[in-house]
Amino acid sequence: MITATSRRFFVLVHILASPKKAFSSPSSDPNCTSSGHNLAYVNIGNNPEGHKPLMMAWMCSGKTHKEMVDRLASAGIIKASINKEAMLSVDRRNYVIDTSRAYDDSPQPIGYGATISAPHMHAHALEELLPPLSRASRDEPTRPLRILDVGCGSGYLTAVFGRMVRPKVMYDERKSPLPSLSRSVPKLNDGKVFGIDVIPQLVQMSKTNMMKEDGDLIDSNTVEFAVGDGWKGYPGGSPYNAIHVGAAAATFPIELMKQLAVGGVMFVPVGPEHGEQYLYRVERVDDRGQVVGLVGSDESRGFHEEDYRIRRVLGVRYVPLVRTD
CB neighbour burial string for 83-103, b if at least 16 within 10 angstroms, e if fewer: bbbbbbbbbbbbbbeeeeebb
Q: What is the pLDDT of residue 103?
A: 97
As a whole number of angstroms, the distance between CA 147 and CA 243 comes to 6
Mean pLDDT of the 33-38 span = 42
Q: What is the pLDDT of residue 29?
A: 56
Q: What is the pLDDT of residue 30?
A: 56
Bond into 253 cis (ω within 30): no
Q: Could you tell me which residue, 260 or 115, shows the higher pLDDT?
A: 260
Catalytic residue set:
117
Q: Which of 180, 133, 198 is nearest to 161 (CA)?
A: 133
Query: Which residues is 148 bridged to in the sheet?
Result: 194, 243
Q: What is the pLDDT of residue 38?
A: 31
Q: What is the pLDDT of residue 169?
A: 67
Cβ–Cβ < 8 Å for 193, 158:
yes
As a whole number of angstroms, the distance between CA 292 and CA 285 comes to 15
Interval 116-125: pLDDT, tens:
999 999 999 9
Mean pLDDT of the 239-256 span = 95
Interval 177-200: pLDDT, tens:
444 444 445 689 999 999 999 999
Sign of the CA dihedral running 314, 270, 282, 137 = negative
Q: What is the pLDDT of residue 168?
A: 80
Interval 43-80: pLDDT, tens:
233 333 333 433 344 569 999 999 999 999 999 999 99
Q: What is the pLDDT of residue 316?
A: 83
Cβ–Cβ < 8 Å for 249, 268:
yes
Q: Could you tell me which residue, 57 or 32, shows the higher pLDDT?
A: 32
Q: Which of 130, 129, 109, 131 is nearest to 118 (CA)?
A: 109
Q: What is the pLDDT of residue 190?
A: 95
Mean pLDDT of the 198-214 span = 97
Q: Which of 97, 54, 107, 322 is nearest to 199 (CA)?
A: 322
